[in-house]
């Protein structure tokens, strides 16, 4: 069981990181009566504001599917989700991903997911804009959609303030092991600062095996195709796309190299922008011109699962979401807040399950054979 906080009925908790996970933790703690201070240089200015916002429950594992279902319910309660089915596919000759789908979909169905295989003919009939002539295997998750990540994150932070949290923005903070933030003592400190989480904890003397890596996104010019496609993950091509306010949002462009969270290129690489033309040709038969493009940072762990929980007494962490942080945030934030207040912890995500200096390769988070 998680440690029960000592002291008053309203424990003092600092949450470092005003992204979607940190803001959710702050909101849930404030609603539970804790004395919460939320720190960030600028709300939604980091990875949460740059994310794709794709949300679905198509996970084969029990815990992952439970977290996804809980998160989707919260998104709907807050009217934050634009419903759109999520389709993923493997093309001819891609036996690895086709086999992974054949294994995972029945397990998703056993977990209660509204998931099914979809014949290429049925896929083409429902979304004629999609290219399906070389599809080997496809599946659909009907319980899915996408959200405006920056707007949702800012709203969550404001709800936390409305529930009593103190929001402090504008400066980088230092975390101490006591636990403290900028030398001020708290009953507990939660570090959910995206790519900056690992450096903050290392400076406090409690390193974690998390690496930051770049991912990239492309937004097309306005096109009627946006209303004629599902959310799509092409496992063979290694990209995803979704509608985006009359445009197409194309993503991935993973650079599997560790990056300094204070020194990295926020613009998309030329090779990725060129690849997006090929992705769109493969998906919809048309290379829609670019409107804008950008890069963001994701965080990876040795086993692909996040680190969520108590790193050392009073010091908590939420990091390493492999690009799935936004879609999990409502459930992860609620569960972590409960753990901080003495409730159950997420044992599978225990941040102490690895050696502090464990080395590992960064693996793309959406790869079917890794999920």
pLDDT for the residue 8: 52
pLDDT for the residue 223: 97
348 and 313 within one domain = yes
Q: Are 217 and 295 in contact (CB under 8 A)?
A: yes
Whole-angstrom Cα distance, residue 59 to residue 56?
8
| Domain boundary pick from 238, 270, 300 | 300
103 and 40 within one domain = no
337 and 288 within one domain = no
pLDDT in tens, 161-185: 999 999 999 878 999 989 999 999 9
The CATH number assigned to the domain holding 40 equals 3.50.50.60
pLDDT for the residue 2: 38
pLDDT for the residue 49: 83
Whole-angstrom Cα distance, residue 182 to residue 18?
16
216 and 178 within one domain = no
170 and 290 within one domain = no
pLDDT for the residue 369: 53
Q: Is the pLDDT of residue 318 over 70?
A: yes
> Does residue 55 form part of some domain?
no
195 and 286 within one domain = no
| Domain boundary pick from 274, 300, 326 | 300
Domain of 106, in residue numbers: 83-145+212-300
For the chain, give the mean pLDDT: 93
E strand intervals along 270-354: 290-300, 307-312, 315-319
Q: Are 138 and 87 in contact (CB under 8 A)?
A: yes
Q: Which residue from 87, 94, 96, 100 is spatially nearest to 58, judged by alpha carbons?
A: 87
User: What is the CB neighbour count within 10 angstroms for residue 187?
Assistant: 19
pLDDT for the residue 1: 31
Whole-angstrom Cα distance, residue 220 to residue 276?
9
Q: Is the pLDDT of residue 133 over 50?
A: yes
Q: Is the dihedral of CA 22, 24, 26, 28 positive or negative?
A: negative
Question: Given pLDDT bands bounded at 50, 70 and 90, which one contains residue 44?
Answer: confident
291 and 156 within one domain = no
> Does residue 60 form part of some domain?
no
User: What is the CB neighbour count within 10 angstroms for residue 166?
Assistant: 14
């Amino acid at each position: 069981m998680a440690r029960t906080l000592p002291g008053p009925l309203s424990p003092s908790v600092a949450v470092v990181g005003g992204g979607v996970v940190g803001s959710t933790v702050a909101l849930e703690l404030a609603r539970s009566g804790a004395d919460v201070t939320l720190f960030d240089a600028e709300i939604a200015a980091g990875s949460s504001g740059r994310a794709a916002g794709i949300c679905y429950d198509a996970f084969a594992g029990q815990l992952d599917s439970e977290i996804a279902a809980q998160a989707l319910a919260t998104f709907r309660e807050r009217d934050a989700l634009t419903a759109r089915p999520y389709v993923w596919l493997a093309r001819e000759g891609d036996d690895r991903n086709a086999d992974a789908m054949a294994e995972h979909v029945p397990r998703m169905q056993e977990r209660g997911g509204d998931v099914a295989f979809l014949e290429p003919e049925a896929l083409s009939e429902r979304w004629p804009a999609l290219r399906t002539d070389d599809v080997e295997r496809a599946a659909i998750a009907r319980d899915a959609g996408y959200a405006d990540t920056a707007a949702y994150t800012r709203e969550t932070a404001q709800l936390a303030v409305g529930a009593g949290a103190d929001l402090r923005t504008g400066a980088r903070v230092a975390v101490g092991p006591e636990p403290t933030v900028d030398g001020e003592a708290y009953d507990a400190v939660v570090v959910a600062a995206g790519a900056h989480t690992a450096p903050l904890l290392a400076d406090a003397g409690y390193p974690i095996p998390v690496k930051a890596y770049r991912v990239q996104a492309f937004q097309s010019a306005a096109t009627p195709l946006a209303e004629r496609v599902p959310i799509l993950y092409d496992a063979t091509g290694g990209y995803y796309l979704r509608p985006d306010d009359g445009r197409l949002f194309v993503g991935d462009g993973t650079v599997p190299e560790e990056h300094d969270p204070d020194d990295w290129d926020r613009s998309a690489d030329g090779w990725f922008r060129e690849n997006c033309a090929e992705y769109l040709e493969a998906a919809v038969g048309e290379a829609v011109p670019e409107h804008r493009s950008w890069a963001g940072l994701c965080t990876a762990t040795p086993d692909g699962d996040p680190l969520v929980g108590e790193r050392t007494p009073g010091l908590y962490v939420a990091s390493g979401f492999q690009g799935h942080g936004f879609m999990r945030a409502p459930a992860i934030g609620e569960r972590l807040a409960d753990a901080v207040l003495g409730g159950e912890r997420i044992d599978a995500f225990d941040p102490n399950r690895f050696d502090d200096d464990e080395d590992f390769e960064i693996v793309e988070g959406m790869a079917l054979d890794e999920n």
